[in-house]
Amino acid sequence: MLLSNLHKGALLILLSELALVLTGVMIHELTRQVPTEILVLARNAMGLMFFVPWLLHNGQRSIATQHLPLHLTRSLIGIVAMYCLFYSWGHLPLAQAAVLKQTAPFFIPIVGFIWLKERITSWTIMAILVGFIGVWIILNPEKQTEIPWVALLAILGALLGATAKVVVRKLTMTESSIVIVFYLSLFNTLFSLVPALLVWNTPSLWLLAGMALMAGFATLAQLLLSKGYRYAAAGQLGPFTYGSVIFASLLGWLLWDELVTSEAMLGMALVVGSGVLVMLGSVKARASNSERV
């Protein structure tokens, strides 16, 4: 049976989230011996190297674009989000890092309301509030002196990541997936070079191999993400990005015996459920606005 475009997009998004969690697994292990700045540079530089054979085969015309400023904007937002994401993957339990990353959909209606004066329904507001209650339960501040600043960094990364995904969606209208990821890798390599040089220490061959694997998973995640959004709208595919929470919970338990408490499971359920409702609400709102036009 042939898959519909929605099913193809959903499958690609799930595979993208799995590749992203595997990237997080490598970061979680490597960060014990390698500074985050070097890991970010390695992810981008090695990701860029994967394009060399393709570029040699297809020539310079294969990366021609009329949207260089948009690629640059996407990279500037993405590199800051990447530092936040890498640090949270390295210093938080895998499942917690994954679910905090997935708070991104909560910020899209808020940003749209503040910057673009887009209408936000009371139902969406309630869903966002419930989602952040879920985040509060996951962080469980009553059992610790303060909320870990790394968790706040993860939420900032989610905010920036949501903005970057909007830019990716716009780019997919005219650019191929491989061109989008190529420029992301190129600009991010340049942006991450100086911070890495400031803390530089030469890694061993074994660590280099681990970083190459990390970069491979991360590049694959970006390619699958860009390809997935070509099949269906972000609002339709968004709920499938929460597959990363399941993947991260399982891998964190299998690899490091990171048990998810019943309270954390409740918080995750609230975040996932609220995130899906926010995205579905955005889809209905856009459809309603289109009918009025």
Determine the length of the chain. 293
Largest CA distance in the chain: 61
Contact 208, 166 (CB under 8 A): no
The CA R_g of the chain, rounded to the nearest whole Å, is: 19
What one-character DSSP code corresponds to residue 59? -
Q: Does residue 35 lie within any of the structural domains?
A: yes
Residue 211: inside a domain: yes
Average pLDDT over residues 39-68: 82
Is 168 within a domain? yes
Give 195-245 pLDDT, tens digit per residue: 999 999 888 999 999 999 998 898 888 788 878 877 876 666 767 778 888
3-state secondary structure of 260: coil
Question: CA 227, CA 241: separation in Å to the nearest integer?
Answer: 14
Does the pTM surpass 0.95? The reply is: no
Residue 93 belongs to some domain of the structure: yes
Number of independent structural domains in the chain: 1
Closest to 220 measured CA to CA, from 262, 178, 187, 251: 178
Measured CA to CA in angstroms, residue 158 lies from 77, 84, 86, 207, 290 at distances of 11, 8, 12, 28, 28
Residue 291 has pLDDT above 50, yes or no: no
Answer positive or negative: Cα dihedral of 74, 91, 155, 130: positive
**Would you place residue 19 in the very low, low, confident or very high pLDDT band (cuts 50, 70, 90)?**
very high
Range of the domain at 162: 18-198+206-292
Query: CA 168 → CA 57, 130, 263, 265, 286, distances in Å?
Result: 25, 28, 35, 31, 19
Residue 140: phi and psi, rounded to 5, are 50, 60
* pLDDT tens-digit map of 64-101: 777 888 889 889 998 999 999 899 999 888 888 888 88
From 56, 86, 75, 282, select the one nearest 196 (Cα to Cα): 86
DSSP-derived letter for residue 34 is S
Over residues 107-135, the mean pLDDT reads 75
Residue 4 lies in a domain: no
Residue 88 lies in a domain: yes
pLDDT, residue 87, reads 92
- The answer to whether residue 232 sits within a structural domain is yes
Cα angle for residues 106, 97, 249 (degrees, 5° grid): 110
Q: Measuring CA to CA, which residue among 242, 217, 238 is closest to residue 280?
A: 238
User: How many other CB atoms sit within 10 Å of the CB of residue 222?
Assistant: 23
More confident of the two residues 4 and 15: 15
The overall average pLDDT reported for the chain is: 81
Q: What's the mean pLDDT in 98-107?
A: 82
Considering the domain boundaries, does residue 47 fall inside one? yes
Calculate the dihedral angle through the C-alpha atoms of 195, 197, 199, 200, rounding to the nearest 10 degrees: 140
